Structure 1
């Protein structure tokens, strides 16, 4: 996801930023935030429900002989109607099964799955994953609660920032829009390293204003190197 030059540039940007602030910046880049395994099932089921409608649109009809023509008895017509109805039902069920399998396999293919996954769901999973990482990586364990997670999910092309209470209580949420926009722009240009370094610089400007560094006491409490996570 990142080359050595980009890793070094991000680490240097974090190190420089933290000379200006007591905030602790922690960078994570993930291949994806979720496997979205429910997407093929959801699309397969949704399209399969259209099976009967497809049959109707295709002009498929269920018909039985007229009891007044051909000397059919009412019992015979009733039997043929029941047989025709069962056949139509079996045909519809088979079509639904085939649609479910075909669409399920198609949407299980990663490029298609990314395309058909609703954007709000992607946003929710990225936000959830970022918050999970904030907790599991112990970013809330800094002395002044000034940990800041900058998280990027490559497949979704989305970024999230999570700030601990020592920062969040002093900085309005919308203040992070600029850094996040710079980060996402870098991802979309296939230059994640540049996006990260610009986002870190902008974050440092914000942090230096609200939680400036104490020249006499400013320990480095979190690693400066970027963390890369493989597919889940």
Structure 2
């Protein structure tokens, strides 16, 4: 699933309204981001390409060994056909893995995906200036579609207000909706829960509650 399709313009507006509503409860600043994938995973694509190359090579070898193929089964011709089959198989497998995410996900380790999601989320945290609020109250909700993972990063005061257990429960809530394909609800439910929990320790200021960070959803078609 492409990030831009998962949250189209209408969905983004709905999420942005949810951000604004959550921020009426708390002085924390909430930022939402979604990425098609967090890593490139070239190794996985190469492995699938290699596997398909072996299949293509085997099929070519069998086909060239049959009597009907005598006209093109000389040593030089056979080697040429088999080499071409292997190369085309590798290319086809690599391209297929690039577009068919379930296939690629089969050969990518969970640890590698976790590392890439953490790297990408930290990059977005920095790019979006989530750590630059006056009170250290920024919170990032980062969703990565290929990995089907969510990471919630909170700046110092926001993290103290939530606590590790609450951050984990918010992440688990988001993942539940994400894995059901409920992309908008992934953000909206998490935003509501985060706003309510943050309100206890970081309530909205009656006199002044400036909107320091944009409410716009950050969409990354490729890895951040």
Q: Same fold (TM over 0.5)?
A: yes
1:198 aligns with 2:189: yes
| CA drift at 1:104 | 7.7
For residue 16 of structure 1, what is the aligned residue in structure 2? 21
Q: String of CA shifts for 1:76-128, please: whole Å, max 9, x gaps.
A: xxxxxxxxxxxxxxxxxxx9xx9899568535533222221111111111111
Change (3 A) 1:30 1:171: same
For residue 93 of structure 2, what is the aligned residue in structure 1? 106
For residue 36 of structure 1, what is the aligned residue in structure 2? 41
2:174 and 2:189 in contact (8 A); partners too: yes
Change (3 A) 1:115 1:107: farther
1:179 and 1:198 in contact (8 A); partners too: no
Of the structure 1 ranges 105-114 and 27-36, higher mean CA displacement relative to structure 2 is found in: 105-114
2:23 and 2:29 in contact (8 A); partners too: yes
| CA drift at 1:7 | 1.4
| CA drift at 1:164 | 0.6
Structure 2: gaps (5+ residues): 1-5, 52-81
Q: CA RMSD in A?
A: 2.8
1-structure distance, mates of 2:169, 2:18: 17
Residue 151 (structure 2) aligned to one of 146, 160, 168: 160
| CA drift at 1:231 | 1.9
1-structure distance, mates of 2:7, 2:87: 38
| CA drift at 1:44 | 7.1
Listed as ranges, the matches of 1:131-146 within 5 Å are: 131-146=122-137
Task: Identify, as 1 or 2, the structure richer in helix.
Answer: 2
Structure 1: gaps (5+ residues): 48-94
| CA drift at 1:152 | 0.4
| CA drift at 1:182 | 2.4
1-structure distance, mates of 2:42, 2:173: 30
| CA drift at 1:11 | 0.8
Q: Match of 1:170, SS?
A: helix
Aligned residues: 188
2-structure distance, mates of 1:135, 1:184: 23
- Name the larger-Rg structure: 1
| CA drift at 1:173 | 1.5
